[in-house]
Amino acid sequence: MGRREAALLSALITLFLFTPGARGQDLKKVTVSTTGDGGAIGIISNIIEARGLGKKYGLNIEFKKFDPAKAEEAVFFKTVDAGIFAPISAARANLKGQKIQLFHPVMLSIFTFLVPPDSPARTVDDLKGKKLGLFARVTAMYTSYATIVKMRGGDVEKDYNLTFGTPQALSAFLIRKDVDAIGMFEPRASLMVSANQARELVTFNELWQKEAGQPLLIIGIAAYKEWLDTNPEAARGLGRAYADGVRALKENPTKVMEEQRDFIGIKTAEELKRVASRMPGLFIEGWTPKLMESTKLLIQKNVDMKILDQYPKDEFLRRLE
């Protein structure tokens, strides 16, 4: 090999070794909280992780899995850079002086009402005065339904005989018919319906759309304003990775749900079919003017109900340009 060829080879090696993005360590690491144990939002993070969707945006996304409440706490206490957060939680954090901003929407309401298969109930109005099982008062399930009932002119505490419990407990209550109906989230609700343990009455999203004419956002990705201001490209890349994950699910839901069988707990072909038909409609790719308006309305209604003391003065919903 002559000197000219040797010099050219040396230059090519140098270019490869030191060009940004040529090696894995050039990816920016971002830690993100999500859910495990079959949680719906965890499906999208699983897709992102399995397909390496962050890499084309220069990110090494490291997911940390928690139950939903702990996943929000991880953002609040800065254990992670960003993570899943409910709009009302972002509003409440700002009222406490914590400048957390929800910057990418991911999931619409995953809650639905289930009744025993032989229940005579046909509408949500048929449940008034009945035993209704819900998650605790601090949860998105309770606050979102309390808001819907208020918009319909009622009072959730007075209109129902409420029972509170975990997902596992509520499922058992319904199967034993200790309650007349329960609120449940997807995909657990679909698994119960497919197993003929329950019948779906109506979804929270359907009830909200009748009152507001717009979708009901329940989960997005949030981070502290300081992190967003200093890491705008990483934040945009993270949002785009989530959008790519949602598109992958919508393009081939049956394949994705097959891949997520163990995570979700799918056992039968009927369960796979129902979950594959339901899950794509729960996820969204990004902000729209209507979705932003609907989310602000949800917060205002929580102020009207005195669940929140006031509407936040600081920006808690953010659209990254």
Question: Which has more confidence, 161 or 19?
Answer: 161
Tens of pLDDT, residues 127-150:
999 999 998 887 778 888 998 998
Helices (H), the chain: 3-18, 40-51, 68-76, 87-95, 140-151, 156-159, 167-176, 188-194, 204-212, 225-230, 232-251, 253-259, 261-264, 269-278, 289-304
How many of the other CB atoms lie within 10 Å of CB of 82? 27
In the chain, CATH 3.40.190.10 covers 21-109+217-267+282-304, 111-212
CA 166/CA 285 separation, integer angstroms: 30
User: Which sign does the torsion angle of CA 157, 158, 163, 167 carry?
Assistant: negative
Mean pLDDT of 164-176: 94
Determine the longest span between alpha carbons in the chain, in angstroms: 91
Tens of pLDDT, residues 76-107:
999 999 999 999 999 999 999 999 999 999 99
Pick the CATH number of 21-109+217-267+282-304 from 3.50.30.50, 3.40.50.1240, 3.40.190.10, 3.90.380.10: 3.40.190.10
Place 54 in a pLDDT band, splitting at 50, 70 and 90: very high
Q: Yes or no: is domain 111-212 CATH 3.40.190.10?
A: yes
Q: What is the pLDDT of residue 79?
A: 97
What does the angle CA 123 – CA 272 – CA 241 come to, to the nearest 5 degrees? 95
Question: Which has more confidence, 200 or 22?
Answer: 200
Using the predicted structure, report yes or no on whether residue 285 has a pLDDT greater than 90.
Answer: yes
Q: How many CA atoms lie within 13 A of 45 on its CB side?
A: 27
- Residue 131 buriedness (CB in 10 A; 0-12 / 13-18 / 19+): middle
133: DSSP letter: E
Tens of pLDDT, residues 233-256:
999 999 999 999 999 999 999 999
CA 109/CA 139 separation, integer angstroms: 13
Closest CA to 75 of 33, 103, 104, 45: 33
- Strands of the 82-85 sheet, one edge to the other: 59-66, 28-35, 82-85, 217-224, 100-108
Is the distance from CB of 221 to CB of 242 less than 8 angstroms? yes
317: DSSP letter: B
Using the predicted structure, report yes or no on whether residue 7 has a pLDDT greater than 70.
Answer: no
Mean pLDDT of 50-68: 94
53: DSSP letter: T
